[in-house]
A and B are shown apart, each in its own frame.
Chain A
């Protein structure tokens, strides 16, 4: 199989799976088999491409020319490869988990759920491999629309309200800001192809660059930069596998990935550094990091707390890009993978707790840790990774972003990152502490409780991703090697 066919396959495979899933509506076991098989096959195809990219190849394919000079085209580069590996790898985990969760909860409309899920993955692949901003935008919108039914899944009034906010903010920002930015870029630069070093140099009035960047930064609503973050907490009404998809696998990662892509391939890191166009974005990202962390501390609903944690963590990546330095980009890219692994663990734990006990508020979860030891241990690992403690993956991304901040002399940003880590401790660890060390009112601490975990298919995936957090710590070097050609185009290495 040539790489060109493989690219097309990554998008068509999940899309094609939806047809089978729809046909197998009446046979749930077969339907889930299709889901799992296509997830596994997709991952294999992506891994095959990864090898090519590591060897330095940049396979490209063009589908059809939508407007003159604006084709639907795909080209693989390292950042996209990283995103694709993360999304397709975690799809397998999420697919397994959904089976446990959806059946454990007897959810309705499961076929619709699996169909939309597969379309979302297909869109994520399209975003990852897009060869120009136009293609990326198209799949970005497909992703928004395909996740809407997932957010509205429960069809209650609350779900409808949440989904409406979700759609309004994501479509509003993408059409309201991003589309204008794209057309503006095209009008000025005459192309939308992603080129290392950017396409705007010498073509765009430098004094207007901050405005264009603002249109992009706010237009990429999926990156949940404040003040356009409301959709993430609103989407919390969705079933937990969807939250995992939104927070870890596809949606927010698509957002920050687009942010990195725009910074590296449309503006060019050097141009941003020379003109200082991204200075304001750096401050806004720093504000988002701290403000979202503080809001997270006030939330008693576990999923809402995790949602605000996500908003904060996403801004790390935006910050990495806005620092406009190679190390910052490196840190941001690594954080895509690290945060995905950590956050999916936390969300699957929250879901497992819900399936087993139907509890959503942290204050009700006293002593649960002794009832659900595996879930809580996994939660602890995920939390520590998000906090950034070695030997867990999250340590590396913070390390590089801090190095980037030091590199550009932004010592205040190092301070922001350190305070943020402390805040992470303050809002994540109490959940674990309550689980293990407190007792529900009216029972004594020493009373022995029987272990009662969530269904098997819920617990296995979250243990796998928890172990993944450890593994990533030791394999961060490989991600570094993958991203190196993008972050250090001149071949400059660490001092």
Chain B
């Protein structure tokens, strides 16, 4: 049986949640819908793990849809880099569902629950599809599937707070602009090369050399994806969307959506453009890196002054994206490893934090810091989980965040810049400030009379603690994550390219036109 489906695992990964989604819509009973969604998400997770296991040695799986060989047909191409991201996305996808079951009860009517699962599965389909595919246009299609369903998911928060609607609308506008930029970039690439298969694109771009058109394509794609992944200063949609979306949605999006966009960016930068040309490398060094550093500081400082815990974490997410981009922009192997490992570590850490906040919201109906006074005494377990997540955000040793910081600082020293290392450290000290504001409010303020009434439902606590435990485990034993991240970095940046510095411009520039 297994032998029959094994060759088709890569397509099943996407097909299962895609088919499960409309089935959910047929069930008005929310429990049935949940069971279907959860089964689909778990199967995706199992498949992702199988895929990662088969490519972690550095091999590549190629699946031709409908038997059409690339570059004519659509190819699904799996190497260590996207297998690792697949595991992140599907793990969080499966992990948030048990949490969502109770958490959405208080956030909107039960009749809408089935539709929630539909959107959720479609979003998961889109995210997995983006990662698994080896076709540039296919990326766009899946990106839109996930984005459209995300807008709907954010709007589900409207019952608790009407502002969720404007947030979703805002997100829709910005996301669409991003998608448009992205597809324009793709069009330009197609114009130059006449192909959309990623490997094919890379080969032909190399053969044609650099040109004004590729440069413009690069910039369009960078800006388009920058909007999707909330690269500073293109992050404006994110704080509101994260703040007003239902708790489960925030946890899911924060842990996966921006991460997938980062992956696409990496794929385009390294596999397709590949820094064979100076323009792209210079853009990274002189535009992306300063912006990343700016994000680390500006967003962290903004987080310090937030009054709403969800918004505080949202700003922190923007800062964390800065860390990931900084690692990538350092353009060395360690830096890329640092970026990828932070992709994972931040996903589990932020997931845990947003879930803990969701537990607060479930019990006291608010995530404002003023309403969370003394919550450490009334909800000790949730708060303790939040504090562990916070420590990981700071990068305290024995938490996952520390591993990321360690690689990141090492990478900046390798790039010969102790200055950047200092900046990384300085900005994580700002994280101490905003995490500690919460700790002080939660533990050192007296709880108001008639405040919270004990802990959130056990299923929500357990889901939160799985991620909390993961952020501790991967801080104590980073063998799995560092191997996978390093293999992923190998896949994106083959060893021969490692010592790469911006290559001299191609001599016969312009000959392509």
Contact = CB atoms under 8 A, between A and B. Distances in A.
Instruction: Say if A and B assemble together.
Output: yes
A176 B482 CA distance: 24
A183 B421 contact: yes
B271 interface: no
Interface residues of B, number: 31
A65 B443 CA distance: 34
Nearest to B421: A180
A175 B428 contact: yes
A160 B444 contact: yes
Contacts of B476: 64, 66, 72
Given A67-B403, A137-B397, A184 B482 contact: no
A65 B409 contact: no
Interface in B373-416: 391, 394-398, 403, 405-406, 409-410, 413-414
Given A64-B476, A67-B478, A168 B432 contact: yes
Contacts of B414: 187
A186 B413 CA distance: 11
Most chain-B CB neighbours within 10 Å: which of A66, A145, A168? A66
Contacts of A64: 476-477
Interface in A176-209: 176, 179-180, 183-184, 186-187
Interface in B252-295: none
A266 B397 CA distance: 20
A179 B429 contact: no
Contacts of B208: none
A218 B409 CA distance: 19
Contacts of B395: 175
Nearest to B486: A68
Contact of B418 (A149, A160, A184): A184
A430 interface: no
A32 interface: no
B479 A141 contact: no
A161 to B, nearest CB: 10
Given A141-B397, A183-B409, A171 B403 contact: no
A186 B421 CA distance: 14
Interface string A64-77: 11111000100000
A152 interface: yes
Contact of A141 (B396, B413, B418, B443): B396
A254 to B, nearest CB: 15
B425 interface: yes
Contacts of B418: 180, 184
A175 B429 CA distance: 8
B422 interface: yes
A434 interface: no
Contacts of B57: none
A346 B300 CA distance: 43
Contacts of B394: 171, 175
B436 A175 contact: no
B479 A65 contact: yes
B161 interface: no
B425 A187 contact: no
B426 interface: yes
Nearest to A134: B397
B477 A66 contact: yes
Interface residues of A, number: 28
A142 B444 CA distance: 20
Contacts of A297: none
Interface in A156-176: 160, 164, 167-168, 171-172, 175-176
Given A66-B477, A176-B429, A183-B406, A160 B440 contact: yes
Contacts of B477: 64-66
Contacts of A171: 394, 429, 432
Nearest to A188: B413
A155 interface: yes
Contacts of A149: 443
Contacts of A30: none
Contact of B391 (A145, A164, A167): A145
B24 to A, nearest CB: 42
Nearest to B395: A175
Given A145-B396, A167-B432, A180 B425 contact: yes
Given A66-B478, A67-B403, A67-B478, A184 B413 contact: yes
A472 B394 CA distance: 43
Contacts of B443: 149
Interface in A21-75: 64-68, 72
A187 B412 CA distance: 11
Interface string B476-513: 11110010000000000000000000000000000000
A68 B481 CA distance: 11
Interface in A196-229: none
A138 interface: yes
A137 B398 CA distance: 10
Interface string B432-462: 1000100010011000000000000000000
A152 B444 contact: yes
Contacts of B391: 145
A307 to B, nearest CB: 22
Contacts of A183: 406, 409-410, 413, 421
Contacts of B405: 179
Contacts of A180: 409, 418, 421-422, 425
B429 A138 contact: no
B413 to A, nearest CB: 5
Interface in A135-158: 137-138, 141-142, 145, 149, 152, 155
Contacts of B444: 152, 155, 160
Contacts of A167: 432, 436
Contacts of B475: 66
A451 B406 CA distance: 59
Nearest to B398: A138
Contacts of A137: 397
A183 B429 CA distance: 17
Contacts of A168: 432
Contacts of A184: 413, 418
A175 B399 CA distance: 14
Contacts of B413: 183-184, 187
Given A145-B391, A152-B444, A155-B444, A67 B482 contact: yes
Interface in A317-368: none
Contact of B410 (A65, A160, A187): A187
A276 to B, nearest CB: 22
A185 B39 CA distance: 49
Contact of B409 (A72, A145, A179): A179
Most chain-B CB neighbours within 10 Å: which of A137, A149, A160, A179? A179
Nearest to A72: B476
Interface string A285-299: 000000000000000
B484 to A, nearest CB: 13
A147 B405 CA distance: 24
B28 to A, nearest CB: 46
Most chain-A CB neighbours within 10 Å: which of B394, B396, B403, B428? B396
Interface in B291-332: none
Contacts of A141: 396-397
A380 B478 CA distance: 53
Contacts of B428: 175
A160 B440 CA distance: 8
B478 A179 contact: no
Contacts of B421: 180, 183
A187 B422 CA distance: 15
A176 B426 contact: yes
A132 B418 CA distance: 23
7 contacts: A65-B477, A66-B398, A66-B475, A142-B398, A145-B396, A160-B444, A179-B405
| CB-based closest 8 A-B pairs | A138-B397, A183-B409, A155-B444, A187-B413, A141-B397, A176-B425, A160-B444, A171-B432
Given A66-B398, A72-B476, A160-B444, 11 more contacts: A65-B477, A66-B403, A66-B475, A67-B482, A160-B440, A164-B436, A171-B432, A175-B395, A179-B409, A180-B425, A184-B418
